[in-house]
Chain A
Amino acid sequence: MSKQSELKKLAYLTLRNIKLYFKDKMTFLVSLITPLILLLLFIAFLKSTYQDRLLSITAGFELDQSLIDAFTGGWLFSSVLATSCITVAFCSGMMVIDKINKANVDFIVSPVKKSTLQLSYVLSNLFSTLIIALVLLVIGLIYLAFVGFYITFVDFLLILFNIIITSLFGTILANIIWTFTHSQGVVSGVCTLVSALYGFICGAYMPISMMGQGMQNFVSLLPGTYATVLFRYGFLNGILNEMGKTLPQGMIEGIASSFDVKLSFFGSEVSMPGLVLVITISTIVLLGIFLLINGLKKRKKHKKFANK
């Protein structure tokens, strides 16, 4: 079978998986639970809590309301994207759903390579996550356009890059786990766990600076934290620059540290390129693990055949 033909199969399989995900309303809604929780939390009390915190840091200085609104809005949408890129990736995978519905058997009896099928799951998972993340980004940008827009073109590109790399990270991590399970229970369990926990451990629900030192050290070891901080940087850097016109630099540093625009790794500040590097290398390492697992599984199957 030619490479072109295999690519065509990959394209159709990927399309089929994406279509199935968006047609399954239940799966789709479950994967949006985390951003919805965040939105509710924000409307209920997070917005005022963060406004108060910001005002307490800048006490004695006048701050324009549009800057405050843009800051809290930027913080909300950086949280929404930081969590969604991971939780949607975990909840939008079709691999296990196919195993449960036995659709995978239909693909085994079709002339399509196992690697093509596997890759289609990863790609569709990634594209579904990206579609949702980009829709959330557009909503966020529209909201910020109303309350106060300070995102530069470079920051916007950084946000886009971060959406892609974090979604890829979440997708590969999820697919590594899905490779080992056939159970809907495990999928639901992992999905719920990730949706509930990830927002806390990546610093999306509350700033890392508000956590205890032990917890701060722990989350600084997780690649997801770096993605969150990178999102904060993309959304809030422009606002901080704007604030810098009226507030002293030390105060800006304080705000940046308090709201996770900067991350400290065991006392040393991680630069923006450092953040990019950590999340990129982590994704490459995960990809290597994923390929290794699939390679070993394939070898094991061949060995089984050869021994017959």
Chain B
Amino acid sequence: MHIIEIKNLKKHFGSTKAVDGISFSVEEGDLFAFLGLNGAGKSTTINILVGVLTKDSGECFVNGFSIDEISKILPSIGIVFQSSVLDKNLSVYDNLKYRAMLYGMSKKEFEENLKFFTEKLELQEIIKKQLNKLSGGQKRKVDIVRALLHKPKILILDEPTTGLDPKTRKLVWDMINKLRRETNLTVLLTTHYMEEASIADNVVIIDSGKIVAEGSPLTLKNKYASDYIKAYKYDEKIFEILDKTNIPYKKDKKSLEIKFKNTEKAKNFLVKYNTLFKDIEIVKGSMDDVFLAVTGKELKEHV
């Protein structure tokens, strides 16, 4: 079942086409990654889905309802924004209480849900603390609890780990994965971190408001990224063959990296010249390679 469906969505800001006729759908329970540079149109799409922005044209359906009936959609959505929108001068408890009550929760229901999430995320120690006294990672955890407290079907994460250190980033992801396993939560993620996109069930790459590639990370890698044979022990004769066959390679002190268009070609090469290699591995192309191939842009340079 498609829990999110977008058809030919367009949004302009003056002469800038922020979103230019994109269509995609998200299956229930999936982790769906929306990948693109800053300004590619990811956040605009998310903001249209949750009613912060209005669309120029196209159709969007969330949980079976058109976004024109946004009040029917909002109870089923939880969203974590790029930066926290909670009240810095209030305690974690007050922040969560005042937000939870907007979902028509009873006090008892709130306390139960709060207990569930604070235990899961180990927030007991900071629950009475003022938000501006917390570390970046702690704040992010509170943002995520705020988004999940009403137990939505869909969790939208708009670059949730931007600005977080690797340890906190891992912590956040461990928690999201745990929740997905336990509650069949659908997660729509916008990110410019390749490692986050590579664990998704499906990825859409957006560039200048248009979708330039979509599919599972494996499909995308197979379609757009090169494979590599990484050789650590090899016969020097291999260079003669590589030069003769014009196969690109890169050599450093530790290893030799030979680039192939796909796994099939790498495998055939290995079979043919297996006597020349003693210690090797076949490495699949990364999502960075996919992104570079479909957009012509290096993701790392822009973030």
A residues at B contact (CB < 8 Å): 1, 5, 8-9, 12-13, 15-16, 19-20, 23-24, 101-103, 105-112, 301, 304-305, 308
Contact = CB atoms under 8 A, between A and B. Distances in A.
B71 A308 contact: no
Nearest to A112: B102
Interface in B56-111: 56-57, 68, 71, 74-75, 77, 79, 81, 83, 85-90, 94, 97-99, 101-104
B86 A106 contact: yes
Q: Which 7 A-B pairs have the closest CB atoms?
A: A12-B101, A16-B98, A23-B89, A110-B102, A106-B85, A111-B74, A109-B50
Which of A5, A12, A109, A111 has the largest number of chain B CB atoms within 10 A?
Answer: A109
Nearest to A6: B104
Contacts of A108: 50-52
Given A108-B51, A109-B50, A308 B101 contact: no
B102 A107 contact: yes
Interface in B221-280: none
B104 A1 contact: yes
B118 interface: no
Given A20-B89, A105-B81, A301-B54, 20 more contacts: A1-B104, A8-B104, A9-B104, A16-B87, A16-B90, A16-B94, A16-B98, A23-B89, A102-B81, A103-B85, A103-B86, A105-B85, A106-B99, A108-B50, A108-B51, A111-B71, A111-B74, A111-B102, A308-B54, A308-B68
Interface residues of B, number: 30
Nearest to A111: B74
B248 to A, nearest CB: 48
B102 A9 contact: yes
Q: Is the interface of A mostly helix, strand, loop or mixed?
A: helix
Contacts of A110: 74, 99, 102-103
B79 A109 contact: yes
B85 A9 contact: no
Given A109-B52, A109-B77, A308-B56, A20 B104 contact: no
